[in-house]
Amino acid sequence: MITEGWLLFIILFVALSLLGIFLVKVALRLARGISAKTKTRLDDYAFKALSTPLQLAAVVIAAHIALHFATLKPSFSRVIQDTLFVLIVLLVVIAINNLFKAIVQWLHESAANKEFVRRFAPILEIGEKLFVWTAGLMIVMKRFNYDISSLVVSMGVGSLAIGLAAQDTLSNIIAGLTILLDQPFKVGDRIKLESGEFGDVLEIGLRTTKIKTVENYVLVIPNSLLVKSKVLNFYLPESRTVGRVSVGVSYKENPKKVREVLIRSALEVDEVLREPEPVAFFTEFADFSLNFLLVFHVDDPKKVFSTANRIRDRILENFRKEGIDIPFPIQTVYLRRENEGKN
């Protein structure tokens, strides 16, 4: 009787397993055919991730059905049922992990903010695995009548202790998430901090943001401090940037001619945009000079200083050609004799 029961169990198990695997493959093939007509690839990744867990689940279900029809000793049946329960929980955990990986892969390809996905996907994957595997373990322990309340309390106390010990780190990580989601700047942008430092963003990390300054050193700033300070982004709302060059000329010069030479000097530099055109302003009657301001535009904030330098070279050369004088500071000193003061 026992031998016949095991024989029936094995026959039903093998037959139902083959049938289940066949049906799952057919269903997945039909599903892939439908998903091939959609624009997104998320469904393709999802079906691929769930293919193996679904086939193994068909085998487990086949064993459960075969066990229902076969006559086995209660002790054997209990062991098989417990084993099948553990396998089902394990397959569910694996399926969730595979599905999460498929979603992350899809986000790597289609997300607008790929930098956010690249940096924080590993952390999210670790958190997801920790949560899912812990939940699966607790379900299995409850199945075998283990007391999980003490485990839950211990995990809660441990999490609280870790959170308090790593308060600054967690604050910086949350601030880093805020920066990547809000996008006040991104890697490659030139920014200026409230404290006066400015440079190009090299990296937005979990805890800190690295900025390469114009002096060619790296400034490392905790993200929690960065989100609390004012940041000037030279690339927002667009990368076109204004540059300025100031110059003073002698009082004998014609302001109109000086403005024409300044604008011509700017247009002789290739990096200067023609639209909007550079403009020169007569700004001040200074102590010993007439002061002018030349305003120009470039297509990249990183070009402002080098372009202004080239413009100054052209201004100096053109002033010399046109005979425009750049005066030295002049100070007139009046001397009074002591006896004249008494008179």
Tokens of 147: 């007391």
Neighbours of 87 (CB within 10 A): 16
Closest CA relative to residue 294, chosen from 327, 254, 263: 263
| Structure confidence at residue 167 (pLDDT) | 65
What is the model's pLDDT at position 1? Answer: 47
Q: How many CB atoms lie within 10 A of CB 148?
A: 14
What one-character DSSP code corresponds to residue 327? Answer: P
How do the pLDDT tens digits run along the chain, 343 residues long? 456 677 777 888 888 888 888 888 888 888 877 777 777 777 777 888 888 888 888 888 888 888 877 777 777 778 888 888 888 889 898 988 888 888 887 777 776 656 666 666 776 777 778 888 888 888 888 777 776 666 566 556 555 555 555 567 777 777 777 777 777 888 888 888 888 888 888 888 778 889 998 788 899 988 888 888 888 888 888 888 899 999 999 999 999 999 999 999 999 999 999 988 999 999 999 888 999 999 999 998 888 889 999 999 999 999 999 999 988 876 667 777 766 555 5
- pLDDT recorded at residue 290: 93
**Domain 184-233 identical in fold to domain 241-322:** no
User: Any residues with CB less than 8 A from the CB of 246 and at least 6 apart, and which?
Assistant: 283, 291, 292, 293, 294
Q: Which residues contact 263 (CB under 8 A, 6 or more apart)?
A: 277, 278, 279, 280, 294
| Ramachandran assignment for 188, one of left (phi > 0), alpha (psi -120 to 50 degrees), beta (any other) | left
Q: For domain 184-233, say whether CATH 2.30.30.60 is its number.
A: yes
* CATH code linked to domain 241-322: 3.30.70.100
User: Is 96 within 8 Å of 132 (Cβ atoms)?
Assistant: yes
Helix 114-143 vs helix 167-182: angle between axes, to the nearest 10 degrees?
130
Domain boundaries, the chain: 2-164, 184-233, 241-322
Q: Which helix (H) or strand (E) holds 190?
A: strand 190-193
Query: Per DSSP, which regions of 1-116 are E strands?
Result: none
pTM summary value: 0.51
